[in-house]
Amino acid sequence: MTDVGTSNRFLSGGDRPHFFRYAARLYSSDQVYRGLIDFAAIGVVVLLFMHPPSIDWFRGWMKPEAASPSKTFEPARPSSAPTQSTTAATDSAPSAGGSAPVSANVPMPAIADVRHPRLWSPVLLMEIDERAFQSSELEDRQRLIKATQAHQALRYSEMFDHLVGARSSDPNVAFMRGLAAFYQIDADHYSRAMAQFRSAVAGGHLQASALLGLLLVAGPQGVNKDVDAGKRLIEAAAMKGDPMAQRFAGIGYLGGDFGVLDPFKAAGFFKRAVAAGDLPSMTHYAHMLFSGAVVEKDEVAAEQLIERAAAAGLTVAQETLGIWMLDRYKAGVVRTPSEGIRWLERAYQNGFSITALTRLAIFYASEGRGSWRDQSKALELFRMGAAFSDPRSHFGYATAFHFGYATAKEPAKAYTHYELARQLGWSKAVEARQKALEDLLSPSEKASAIEAAQLLRRALKPIPRRIVLQRPSVPLPTSPWGP
């Protein structure tokens, strides 16, 4: 029976124990309370990893009036002479052979699918481990190699042709047929893929286990999912040493696909995958190393991993490294942006990255100094991007016609592309620009500009699919950028 007097004294504070002592007792005795505290602590760590506060953030917090400038493309201003700190900077960006410590004021860029990964992603890299083919019969081994080459060249329909006549009982054949079905567009292709993967898993195929687990955990609509079973399949393959499965496990814990956020487990899986040479895992682990929120902070090692993945042809690593180099140039850490430009050119020309193309255009339009300010190049890059449904390209293209950068001022054309940027999702960014142009356009000219935007939008092409890994042995598809 509860002692009412004691209860009242506690509620009123008469004999109330010290807050921290009471919290400690509750944590040690109540499993529900302990679970809530542990979950909250892990959540804070995840948030710090995904959005680590920079030195500039702390300065802005201490002095709110010193807000950081927006990265939205603004009209170019006259470039100023290099400051003393700029001229004293290194001549070029650090190389993999001798990386210098990265300035704390120049954080690693946050490419969305690296910092916030999900298992089901259009840019997921599926590497085929050809060493497994050694267990197949010689004639099937040749078929498997040809099917692998078709997969690497993105000619997925040819994979089936190369596997005609192969033994269905071979786990390697079942895996490759499942992978071929995975990329088809008919209604039951995922069902057929899962059936083949299950057959391969029964034969001990590790990568089939990882891909079957991927579909069970995060497959698209129409796939009968089973998160627990999929998680077990992925982790089993990861523990047996498959790098792709280790990456999937890291993403599953980091992005929440496994139903729990555990960046510490994610870091362990990514570290093992990096040691095995998995390129996408290098970008994930590099962010962990740079932020220091989950693993010991090591900015030099983080940069070396990004450089290694970029040099191997991973497009997202080239985007990251190129943007990072240009950010250092803007901050005065390096004198020349040539290294950053080289990586971004490679990312958009060979990797078909519209992110790299628009970032390079913005640099030439408003960030370069001296001969690096080239608005003609910026206009051409924005023109190339404006053939697609990309709001950044249309905003930049409109800006050129609005202010007459490397072209004549054309208010109506500028309004049209601002309107396209607005329709594609940049409503707040273009509102002030369109309002300013309305003073220069008659009502009929404005109506014509909006009509032109509607017509152009129907003709816009979808944003090019980024080539995940640029393989030297695989010819590039036709460039989406045109001649």
For residue 197, the model assigns a pLDDT of: 97
Residue pointed to by tokens 């100094």: 369
Amino acid at 228: D
Asked whether residue 305 carries a pLDDT value surpassing 50, the answer given is yes
Asked whether residue 55 carries a pLDDT value surpassing 80, the answer given is no
Name the average pLDDT for the chain.
83
Asked whether residue 17 carries a pLDDT value surpassing 90, the answer given is no
**Tokens in use for 307?**
């450089």
Top pLDDT among 466 and 31 is at 466
pLDDT-based confidence at residue 11 (cuts at 50, 70, 90): very low
Please compute the mean of the pLDDT values over residues 311-337 and round it to a whole number: 95
Reported as a single tens digit per residue, the pLDDT across 212-265 is 999 999 998 889 999 999 999 999 999 999 999 999 999 999 999 999 999 999
Phi, psi of 388, rounded to the nearest 5 degrees:
-120, 170
Phi-psi label, residue 307: left if phi above 0, alpha if psi -120 to 50, beta otherwise: alpha
Please compute the mean of the pLDDT values over residues 90-110 and round it to a whole number: 55
For residue 221, the model assigns a pLDDT of: 85
Reported as a single tens digit per residue, the pLDDT across 422-443 is 999 988 889 999 999 999 999 9
Asked whether residue 61 carries a pLDDT value surpassing 60, the answer given is no
For residue 56, the model assigns a pLDDT of: 40
For residue 37, the model assigns a pLDDT of: 58
Q: Which CATH number fits domain 130-311: 3.30.1540.10, 1.25.40.10, 3.10.50.40, 1.10.3720.10?
A: 1.25.40.10
* CA 41 to each of CA 262, 301, 448: distance values in angstroms, whole numbers, following the listed order: 11, 27, 56
Asked whether residue 73 carries a pLDDT value surpassing 90, the answer given is no
For residue 80, the model assigns a pLDDT of: 37
Work out the percent of the chain whose per-residue pLDDT is above 90. 70
Residue pair 473/145 in contact (Cβ under 8 Å)? The answer is no
Measure the CA–CA gap between 256 and 263, rounded to whole angstroms: 10
Reported as a single tens digit per residue, the pLDDT across 401-424 is 999 999 999 999 999 999 999 999
Q: How remote is the C-alpha of 131 from its chain's centroid?
A: 29
pLDDT-based confidence at residue 337 (cuts at 50, 70, 90): very high
Please compute the mean of the pLDDT values over residues 75-101 and round it to a whole number: 38
* CA 72 to each of CA 112, 365, 392, 395: distance values in angstroms, whole numbers, following the listed order: 17, 12, 9, 9
Reported as a single tens digit per residue, the pLDDT across 173-222 is 999 999 999 998 877 899 999 999 999 999 999 999 999 999 999 998 88
Residue pair 354/390 in contact (Cβ under 8 Å)? The answer is yes
For residue 423, the model assigns a pLDDT of: 95
pTM: 0.79
Please compute the mean of the pLDDT values over residues 71-80 and round it to a whole number: 48
pLDDT-based confidence at residue 44 (cuts at 50, 70, 90): low
For residue 290, the model assigns a pLDDT of: 94
**Tokens in use for 377?**
């190049």
Long-range contacts of 183-189 (CB under 8 A, 24+ apart): 183/156, 184/156, 184/157
pLDDT-based confidence at residue 72 (cuts at 50, 70, 90): low
Asked whether residue 449 carries a pLDDT value surpassing 60, the answer given is yes
Reported as a single tens digit per residue, the pLDDT across 142-186 is 999 999 999 999 899 999 999 999 999 999 999 999 999 999 887
Please compute the mean of the pLDDT values over residues 455-477 and round it to a whole number: 93
For residue 123, the model assigns a pLDDT of: 80
For residue 42, the model assigns a pLDDT of: 56
Please compute the mean of the pLDDT values over residues 124-136 and round it to a whole number: 93
Radius of gyration of the chain from its Cα atoms, rounded to whole angstroms: 27
Measure the CA–CA gap between 483 and 471, rounded to whole angstroms: 22
Output the DSSP codes for 278-321. Answer: -HHHHHHHHHHHHH-SSS---HHHHHHHHHHHHHTTBHHHHHHH
For residue 75, the model assigns a pLDDT of: 53
Work out the percent of the chain whose per-residue pLDDT is above 70. 78
Residue pair 230/212 in contact (Cβ under 8 Å)? The answer is yes
For residue 124, the model assigns a pLDDT of: 87
